Amino acid sequence: MAVRVVGPMSWIGWPTLLAILLTVVLSTPVSLFGLNLPQPVWPMVLAFAWPLIRPSMVAPAVLFGLGVFLDLFWGGILGLWPLSLIAVYGIMLAARNLMVGQETLFLFVLYAGSTLFAFLLAYVIVTVAIGNAPSLISLASQVVPTLILFPIADWMIQRFDDGDVRFR
């Protein structure tokens, strides 16, 4: 039986570059029918999928870098998104044995819960840091597009999960 070995560039490198590119592209000031482009947190897909695909020491470092990129690019509080992304990664890594091989609906519920947790954490941090609660409408305008990205996380899990059985 042949083992298909998937290199780190396939499941870490290219998705990281794609997340950066899509973040930049969707941040362009384009207005369609009076609405701006959505700005989902693309690295949230990676923070959810990577611990399920394969535990790694590189993934949290890359997520930290992606979080710093988001903070600097969006002009937010430095450390906000690295903390949120690493928290999601840590929770998913801790629950990895329970989640591997589960149905897609169950994974979506976990993705939604982890995404809502990350945004709640970010909301609390921003509220405490600036002393004023951010708009819930603007929060929802970022949460909903991030939730819609679940099929990408599911595809990554299905595509790379059985890529190397040495980590089972």
Residue 75 lies in a domain: yes
Name the more confident of 165 and 8: 8
Please give the pLDDT value at position 115.
96
Q: For residue 15, what are its two tokens?
A: 């998705």
* Least confident among 10-14, 18-22, 132-136: 10-14
Residue 1 lies in a domain: no
Q: For 66-100, how does the pLDDT look when each residue is reduced to its tens digit (9 = 90+)?
A: 999 999 999 989 999 999 999 999 999 998 888 87
Residue 3 lies in a domain: no
User: Does 27 have pLDDT greater than 70?
Assistant: yes
Residue 2 lies in a domain: no
Q: For residue 144, what are its two tokens?
A: 């909903």
What's the number of domains the chain is made of? 1
Residue 21 lies in a domain: yes
Q: Given pLDDT bands bounded at 50, 70 and 90, which one contains residue 114?
A: very high
- Return the percent helix, strand and coil in the chain, to nearest 5: 70, 0, 25
- What ranges in 27-57 are assigned the alpha helix state H? 43-53
Average pLDDT for the chain: 88
Give the burial class of 75: count Cβ atoms within 10 A of its Cβ; 0-12 exposed, 13-18 middle, 19 or more buried.
exposed
**DSSP state, 149?**
T
| Residue 111 lies in domain | 8-167
| Percent of the chain predicted with pLDDT > 90 | 63
Residue 35 lies in a domain: yes
What would the mean pLDDT of 27-50 be, rounded to a whole number? Answer: 88
What is the greatest pairwise CA distance in the chain?
Answer: 60
What would the mean pLDDT of 106-132 be, rounded to a whole number? Answer: 95
